A = this chain, B = another copy of it.
């Protein structure tokens, strides 16, 4: 293995170990010792890649806002749904996303690192802008306002569905959320054609993986993390 590739893999291993500890224990209770034990690397290797626990948390949060696994769609409103459904599919299955969600929901770590909500809102608002330009939205819809409601609702469902032991609970809940919201957003001609079924996220993720291949998707580190997530599943 080339030295560069080995370093990339070590970094991904450490980040995934940190995510596992953050997801299980929360930011405050997590320690560098826990993360070292979980990653099975030396202290030197960890500090070569990350300067502190804060730096590890920032590394995890860098993966929190992503459209990885979401193919472009002719309907931009379907793409809005897809961004959420893919995240609902991946969140319970990928520890880096679970850790980012836990860090974002915790006020202490939010005070330290900020939360990804405004980035998510911008991303959804820009897709809704495109949907509006294509005539997919009812005339009264304000993209930024609606994006804020969608992101807030998704965030809450990811919290309330954690109590469920069913890994597909969030996908079902987010599909239902869209069933409750889309009649107030979409023009009638589009509404009937939008797919909000619970397995939508799994299906478009698989489609995206076929189209791109993991190595192209998110750079080498992303590929290493994705491979790790798949191996851990």
Nearest B residue to A170 via CB reads: B152
Chain copies in complex: 2
**CB–CB B163/A118 < 8 A:** yes
**CB–CB A149/B177 < 8 A:** yes
Of B29, B117, B163, B181, which is within 8 A of A184 by CB?
B181
**CB–CB B106/A105 < 8 A:** yes
- Find residues 143-165 in chain A having any chain B CB closer than 8 Å to their own CB: 145-146, 148-149, 151-163
In whole angstroms, what is the CA distance A203 to B26 when docked? 39
- Find residues 170-186 in chain A having any chain B CB closer than 8 Å to their own CB: 173, 176-177, 179-185
User: Which residues of B lie under 8 Å from residue A115 when comparing CB positions?
Assistant: 160, 163
Nearest B residue to A105 via CB reads: B105
Q: Is A108 an interface residue (CB 8 A)?
A: yes
Of B29, B108, B154, B160, which is within 8 A of A148 by CB?
B160
**CB–CB B159/A105 < 8 A:** yes
Q: A117-B160, A180-B185 are in contact. Are A26 and B107 (CB under 8 A)?
A: yes
